[in-house]
């Protein structure tokens, strides 16, 4: 059974500062022994998967209902997500009526990473979704009889306006886009696109 939480949901359920477990796979018993025992004892008595899901759902609701987060953190998270990380952190701190330092500390506790890292990840995810949309559109077009010229992933890579994608995804310029993309994907956007296109 897998439960996927938002960062805020994970903080509410686990009750620990998320920076202490961010970017790690940590056994729940190392985080909270009593929670691990409670989870195992409830799941062990269940007679069906449906009952297990209901019991886990009830435990999540119980634990999340006992805790709260500052309203400003939820608002900041939603603003970052809605903008796909394309909001300035200065304006985010201003809207939360706090300093950059306080914003960073709150994000580390409730989200696991500083807001700048979260914004970078969201921009990268937007870039990947954009490339995936272009790849899927191109794959649909390749089956149509009026498409001529280069075929396959190289034609797509050459047809893309990389500077436009960089700007649309909130990067300063194409070099910034390529640098950030390499850091998260381990390859340039063009090489990444060729690799995923060849998996079709």
Cα–Cα distance measured from residue 35 to residue 27, given in angstroms and rounded to the nearest whole number: 11
98 and 122 inside one domain: no
The residue among 113, 144, 170 that closes a domain is: 113
DSSP state of 47: S
Least confident range from 79-83, 138-142, 148-152: namely: 148-152
Question: What's the confidence (pLDDT) of residue 63?
Answer: 92
Closest CA to 7 of 74, 65, 96: 74
- Whether the Cβ atoms of residue 93 and residue 99 lie closer than 8 Å to each other: yes
Closest CA to 102 of 132, 72, 128, 131: 72
Domain assignment present for 2: no
43 and 56 inside one domain: yes
Q: Which domain covers residue 98, as residue numbers?
A: 71-113
161 and 123 inside one domain: yes
Domain assignment present for 1: no
121 and 188 inside one domain: yes
The residue among 113, 129, 146 that closes a domain is: 113
128 and 102 inside one domain: no
31, with CB counted inside 10 A (0-12, 13-18, 19+), is middle
What are the DSSP calls for 79-147, one per residue? HHHHTTT-S-HHHHHHHHTS-HHHHHHHHHHHTSS-HHHHHHHHHHHHHHHHHHHHHHHHHHHHTSTT-
Cα–Cα distance measured from residue 74 to residue 77, given in angstroms and rounded to the nearest whole number: 5
Share of the chain above pLDDT 70, in %: 88
Domain of residue 154, CATH code: 1.10.10.60
- pLDDT confidence of 135, banded at 50, 70, 90? confident
User: Which two structure tokens, joined as six digits, stand for 64?
Assistant: 């999340």
Question: What's the confidence (pLDDT) of residue 193?
Answer: 85
Question: In the predicted model, what is the mean pLDDT of residues 93-115?
Answer: 92
94 and 157 inside one domain: no
Number of domains comprising the chain:
3
Question: What's the confidence (pLDDT) of residue 198?
Answer: 63
Cα–Cα distance measured from residue 121 to residue 11, given in angstroms and rounded to the nearest whole number: 19
Domain assignment present for 80: yes
Residue-wise pLDDT for 3-21, tens only, equals 899 999 999 999 999 999 9
């Amino acid at each position: 059974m897998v439960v996927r939480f938002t960062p805020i949901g994970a903080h509410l359920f686990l009750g620990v500062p998320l920076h202490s477990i961010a970017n790690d796979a940590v056994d729940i018993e190392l985080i909270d022994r009593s929670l691990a025992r409670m989870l195992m004892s409830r799941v062990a008595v269940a007679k069906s998967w449906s009952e297990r899901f209901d019991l886990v759902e009830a435990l999540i609701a119980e634990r999340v209902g006992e805790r709260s987060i500052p309203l400003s953190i939820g608002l900041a998270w939603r603003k970052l997500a809605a903008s796909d990380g394309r909001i300035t952190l200065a304006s985010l701190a201003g809207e939360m009526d706090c300093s950059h330092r306080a914003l960073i500390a709150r994000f580390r506790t409730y989200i696991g990473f500083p807001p700048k890292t979260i914004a970078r990840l969201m921009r990268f995810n937007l870039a990947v979704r954009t490339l995936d949309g272009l790849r899927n559109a191109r794959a649909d077009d390749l089956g149509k009889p009026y498409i001529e010229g280069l075929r396959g992933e190289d034609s797509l890579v050459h047809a893309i306006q990389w500077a436009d994608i960089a700007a649309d995804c909130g990067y300063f310029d194409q070099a910034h886009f390529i640098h950030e993309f390499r850091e998260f994907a381990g390859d340039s956007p063009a090489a990444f696109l060729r690799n995923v296109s060849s998996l079709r």
